[in-house]
Every structure is written in structure tokens, then in C-alpha cells.
Amino acid sequence: MAPAIAQLATAGVQALRPYAPGKPLTELEREYGITDAVKLASNENPLGPGPRVLEAVRGGFDELARYPDGNGFALKAALAEKHAVPTEAITLGNGSNDVLELVARAFLSPATSAVYSAHAFAVYPLVTQAIGARANVAAAHDGNDGPRFGHNLEAMHAAIDADTRVVFIANPNNPTGTWLDRAALQRFVTAVPDHVIVVIDEAYFEYVDEAEYPDSMEWIPDFPNLLVTRTFSKAYGLASLRVGYGVSQPGLADVLNRVRQPFNVNSFAQLAAVAALQDAAHLQESVQVNHSGMQQLLEGVEAMQLPYIPSVGNFLSVDVGRDPGAVYEALLREGVIVRPVDNYGMPGYLRVSVGLPDENRRFLLALEKVLAA
């Protein structure tokens, strides 16, 4: 008797649970027979891309039959200028998730381990387990000597073993929105052994407005084992195009580019990312909309006396005080899509992305109605 197909996969893949994306608007409206639904589930920029991006993408259709620039010359040049690094220090990815997977493919194996925090971004365990590496999951803060659910750097350092090759750090973290200050994070990076790659995931970097929040790229000249990843999917509004990047010393970038697929970032994504970097006004507006939208959400959940995790990203995780799955389902019937985060070990919480004022108001009214029922 032939084995089940799944049994032919590697042990790590057999045990994986696929990443569960947010429910699309069209599926919700079709399934529930509703219209005018709002999606606040995937931490997207509610403004979308700026006008320069739209113009650049329209201009790319003439080259639709051509392969993308496999080296991403123009985008690397723009990023190199922005961050004052050589182009050889940059690794392009199909979203920053892609760069995280490149790290796992290049440095992890069934004989090694990776370290990350409890409640951290779901891609870290996915790429670790897919390779078959061991996951050393560090306990997060319990709220006594650090923000509840936040990364505990002491616990993470203690979890590093002789066979550890990668440490993943999200700053700020999704889905908690917690963050690490400059002094603490720099001490941690300095203390990590040279044989361990430190990945600082800064997908929400542009949204953070805290005096002690670090720009980790400033440390790259001092640490050959440091990689900082960022994305155009959030503040720049290019989520559908999937373009992200990593910055490191050229030696580390060279290793990652050995396993990177040559056309992993498509032509439209490259054009859009270059244009987005040139549109500082749209980025500033996006950040301002997020700031005011976050205030709107905070005032709303505080009026309902609901606990939440203070967030510096473009999302807020709220403790709804009851079965979050039932609240999520009831919100869907009200035409509002948010994100359950029980798979992150956060029972009772739902995550909502910051939207436009009317979208935020729609969510708050729907939540109040659902909880009252």
C-alpha cells in the first residue's frame, strides 16, 4: 500500500500547520451575503500606495513580457542611497518574509536550533520547522519587569545553545505591538556569540515614534552576524506586490543571495518600491493617519473598558474578555474582518489593524454591539 503523500514530506514539513491568511473581503461578502464590509485583519496601509507608485506601475506594462531584473539594480541603488550602505549589503525578497526564509535555508538544518520569543511573528516558527531545525522558544515578559507578551531579552540570550545559528527578533513585534529600546537591544546584539545570526525584523519601523526606539541598521558596521529586515508592505502600502529587503554586511548578504531565487521580486514591485522611496509626503501622511487612527481605537476600547496591549505598530491587540473566536465570527456577520491571535498563545485577544476613520468607527460600533449581545 502506497504511503500517504504527507508521509513522504520531511519530518518538519509533516508537522507544520500552514500559515492562515486573513479572510478576503470578497469571500466574506459572498459567504455571508453582505456588502460594504471592511477588512482590518492584515495590518495593511488603509491609504494604499501613493500617486508616484501608481504612475510607476502603469509605466511597467510595456515590459510585461520581460523577466524582472534578477539583481534588482535600480531598487538596490535606491536602498543603498537611503541607508548609506553599498549595494552588496542588500538582499531583496518577495516581501521580508522571503528574506526570513532565506536565512533559515542558508543557516539552519536539522542539527541546529533557532531562538525566538513566545508570541512572536508566526513566520519564525514556520521557517524553522520547515527546515527541521529545533526551536528554542524563550518565555516572554509576564508584565512584572517588562511589557506583558513582550520579548524578554535575558530569556532569549539564555536560550542560545552551542548549536544555535539564528535568533529572530521582531521590533516592534506582531501581533503584540511591543518594542525593545535602543540600549537593551544593542546590549543583546553585542552579547550574542559570533556563530549566531541575529535577525532584527523591523517590518513596522516607519510607524514607531518613540525616542528610545533604535534604528538597528546603524549597528551593521560593527556586527558581521547582524541582518535587519524591512518591508514595503506596511507603511509604504505595497502589500499586494510583495517586496521587502534585508541589510547586512556584504559577507552575510552574499550567503543569502546564494539561495535567493534570481527573479524573486517582480518588475512591478521593483518599480513601485523605487517610486515609494521617492514619495516622502505619502509616507508621512500614512504615518499620521495611523497615529490618529490608533488614538481613535484606543479611546474606543478604553470606553468599553477592554484591556489591550499598548502598540507602536499599525494594529492593536484587544482582550475581548470572552471566546475570541465567537466574537470574531459575530464581527464577520457585522461586516468587519479582524484577526484572531489564539495561535500566538494569546487567549482572549483579537488583533485589529488601524484603518481610516470610518473603518475604525465601524469596528468599534460593531464590537460594542457584539459584546453587548
Q: Quick check: 229 and 199 in contact, CB under 8 A?
A: yes
Does 16 have pLDDT greater than 80? no
Owning domain of residue 86: 51-278
| Mean pLDDT value of segment 39-55 | 96
Q: Are residues 329 and 235 in the same domain?
A: no
| Mean pLDDT value of segment 299-314 | 98
Does 76 have pLDDT greater than 70? yes
Q: Are residues 174 and 103 in the same domain?
A: yes
Contacts with 329 (C-beta within 8 Å, 6 or more apart), sequence order: none
Residue 267 one-letter amino acid: S
Work out the percent of the chain whose per-residue pLDDT is above 70: 97
Does 198 have pLDDT greater than 80? yes
What domain count does the chain have?
Answer: 2
Q: Are residues 130 and 260 in the same domain?
A: yes
Q: Are residues 63 and 173 in the same domain?
A: yes
Q: Are residues 225 and 104 in the same domain?
A: yes
Q: Are residues 345 and 234 in the same domain?
A: no
Q: How far apart are CA 234 and CA 217, in angstroms?
A: 19
Closest CA relative to residue 100, chosen from 74, 129, 123: 123
Q: How far apart are CA 102 and CA 96, in angstroms?
A: 10
Range list of β-strands (E), the chain: 38-39, 90-93, 113-117, 134-138, 164-170, 197-201, 226-231, 244-248, 308-309, 315-319, 336-337, 339-340, 349-353
Q: Are residues 285 and 269 in the same domain?
A: no
Q: Are residues 185 and 251 in the same domain?
A: yes
Q: Quick check: 247 and 83 in contact, CB under 8 A?
A: yes
Check which CATH number belongs to the domain holding 288 and give it.
Answer: 3.90.1150.10
Distance of CA 310 to the CA centre of its chain: 17
Q: Are residues 316 and 358 in the same domain?
A: yes
State pLDDT tens for residues 236-257. Answer: 999 999 999 999 999 999 999 9
Q: Are residues 266 and 325 in the same domain?
A: no
| Strands lying side by side in the sheet with 226-231 | 90-93, 244-248, 226-231, 197-201, 164-170, 113-117, 134-138
Place of cell 491609504: 47
Task: Report the run of H or E that residue 228 belongs to, with start and end.
Answer: strand 226-231
Q: What is the mean pLDDT of the chain?
A: 95
Closest CA relative to residue 108, chosen from 168, 170, 173, 39: 168
Burial level of 331, CB count in 10 A (0-12/13-18/19+)?
Answer: buried
Q: How far apart are CA 57 and CA 79, in angstroms?
A: 18
Q: Are residues 72 and 212 in the same domain?
A: yes
Where a domain ends, among 254, 278, 302? 278
Does 1 have pLDDT greater than 60? no
Q: Are residues 192 and 273 in the same domain?
A: yes
Place of cell 552575510: 252
Q: What is the pLDDT of residue 2?
A: 60
Where a domain ends, among 278, 312, 332? 278
CA atoms within a 13 Å half-sphere pointing along the CA-CB vector of 242: 9
Where a domain ends, among 246, 261, 278? 278
Check which CATH number belongs to the domain holding 150 and give it.
Answer: 3.40.640.10
Does 33 have pLDDT greater than 90? no
| Mean pLDDT value of segment 52-59 | 96
* Own/partner long-range contacts of 30-33 (Cβ < 8 Å, ≥24 apart): 32/332, 32/333, 32/335
